[in-house]
């Protein structure tokens, strides 16, 4: 951020009065431009014993498998975001959705929120951001080709919880990989 989105003047990074963090502040109109984490809303679509994965047609992680998920939009709920992304990426309709995982990824300023949802019928097809969409039994999950750690951990929770038949909301933290 170099310019003020309100007045077009130069912004500089300073600590506002009464604050303890550097913010982008306009040198002209004094507007403070806060930057905050984003929510990624997604779903874990389930049909009988299988879960639905999408193979990504976009970067990052082109060609890898993911659950339907994307940036939550202004004016919608986390549930509506999850339903919208499921339709956009997999043309899949879900019912009886329930909050399932909330995953903090602080080094990229993201919080993933996945809802577990059921498919009435095995009907789906790739949206524009997917190369293919497929139902997987647990034994066939392409674990080494999963796009994101948040997807992997959500799938791991699901298969573990399914053995007990209980699906409490799970929280997780994903930290930067050590190099």
| Residue from 17, 59, 60, 75 in contact with its own copies (CB under 8 A) | 75
Rank residues 47 and 167 by Cβ distance to its own copies and give the closer one. Answer: 167
DSSP 11-62: EEEEPPTT--S-EEEETTT--EE----EEEEEEEEEETTEEEEEEESSSSST
5 binds its own copies (CB under 8 A): yes
Contacts to its own copies from residues 48-67, by CB under 8 A:
none
4 binds its own copies (CB under 8 A): yes
Bridge pairing between strands 170-173 and 95-105: parallel
Residues 133, 92 contacting (CB under 8 angstroms): yes
| Per rule CB under 8 A, count of chain residues that contact its own copies | 42
As a whole number of Å, the end-to-end CA separation of the chain is: 29
Contact set with its own copies (CB under 8 A): 1-8, 11, 18, 21, 24, 33-39, 71-80, 99, 102, 104, 106-107, 109, 111, 113, 128, 168-169, 171, 173
């Amino acid at each position: 951020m170099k310019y003020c989105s309100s007045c077009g003047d130069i912004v500089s990074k300073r600590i506002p009065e009464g604050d303890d963090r550097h913010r982008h502040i306009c040198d002209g109109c004094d507007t403070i431009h806060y930057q905050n984490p984003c929510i990624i809303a997604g779903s874990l679509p389930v049909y009988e014993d299988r879960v639905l994965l999408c193979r990504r047609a976009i970067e990052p992680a082109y060609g890898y498998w993911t659950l339907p998920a994307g940036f939550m939009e202004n004016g919608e709920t986390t549930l509506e975001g999850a339903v919208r992304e499921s339709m956009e990426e997999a043309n899949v309709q879900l019912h009886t959705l329930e909050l399932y995982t909330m995953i903090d990824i602080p080094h990229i300023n993201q919080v993933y929120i996945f809802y577990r949802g059921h498919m009435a019928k095995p009907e789906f097809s790739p949206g524009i951001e997917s190369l293919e969409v497929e139902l997987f039994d647990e034994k066939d999950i392409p674990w080494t080709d999963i796009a994101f750690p948040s997807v992997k951990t959500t799938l791991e929770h699901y298969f573990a919880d399914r053995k007990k038949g209980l699906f409490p909301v799970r929280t997780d933290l994903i930290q930067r990989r050590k190099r």
